[in-house]
Amino acid sequence: MQGPLRSAAVAILLVAALGALAGCGYRLVSYRGALGDVRRVSIHTLRNDSLAAGYGATVTEALLDEFQRRGALQVVSDPALADLTIGGRILPIYSGARSFSSTVLALEYQVTVQIQLDVRRRDGTLVPIDPGAMTETEIYVASADAEAALTNRNEALRRVASVIAGRVHDALFERLMP
Query: Closest by alpha carbon to 168, among 54, 49, 51, 46?
Result: 46
How many CB atoms neighbour CB 91 within 10 A?
16
State pTM to two decimals.
0.76
Neighbours of 55 (CB within 10 A): 22
Closest CA to 49 of 88, 87, 90, 86: 90
The set of long-range contacts for 141-150, using a CB threshold of 8 Å and a minimum separation of 24, is: 141/107, 141/108, 142/97, 142/105, 142/106, 142/107, 142/108, 142/109
Helix (H) or strand (E) holding 90: strand 84-90
pLDDT of the chain, 178 residues: tens digit per residue: 566 777 777 778 777 776 666 666 555 555 544 566 788 999 999 999 998 899 999 999 999 999 999 887 889 999 999 999 999 999 999 999 888 888 878 889 999 999 999 999 988 888 888 888 999 999 999 988 999 999 999 999 999 999 999 999 988 877 666 5
